[in-house]
Homo-oligomer: A and B are copies of this chain.
Amino acid sequence: MDDRMEELLKRSQLSVTSSRKKILELFLGSAGALSHGDIEKKAGEKFDRVTVYRTLQAFLEKGVIHSIPTADNTVRYALCKEDCHQGHHQDNHIHFFCRVCASTTCLDKVSIPDIDLPAGFTASQVEVVVSGICDLCR
């Protein structure tokens, strides 16, 4: 477990520190996506707010996590799959936000449908966020 996290950090060209291991551990141990606030709470006051921000920033840049915009306007983060590379995310899946438990899940199985844009518009990214009730809350 510890090895796995160290390996993931090294592969992403990030130096191995205790805060990064801890935050990575939180992501690995959580089903859905985490917000900055979630991480601060779960980490148990062990790290400075700034460290959490900078760690998330580093993870984002190196392609370890990706950010998810949600309806309640708080950014959440989730682990990327193996095919995410530095700076070039492959998060071609939709996100589900549960109104009951406020959790955000990546629905890897559901792909994003094609969308016909009007003439003159060019799409480089499509974000789909579905809100509703998740399988655990019904």
Contact = CB atoms under 8 A, between A and B. Distances in A.
Q: A interface, how many residues as a size bin? A: 35 or more
Nearest to A95: B127
A110 interface: yes
Task: Count the copies.
Answer: 2
Contact of A73 (B73, B110, B123): B73
B133 A121 contact: yes
A71 B75 CA distance: 9
B120 A115 contact: no
A107 B70 CA distance: 20
A18 to B, nearest CB: 29
Contact of A123 (B75, B116, B131): B131
A122 B132 contact: yes
Interface of A: 69-71, 73, 75, 94, 96, 99, 107, 109-110, 113-136, 138
6 contacts: A110-B115, A110-B118, A120-B134, A123-B132, A126-B130, A127-B129
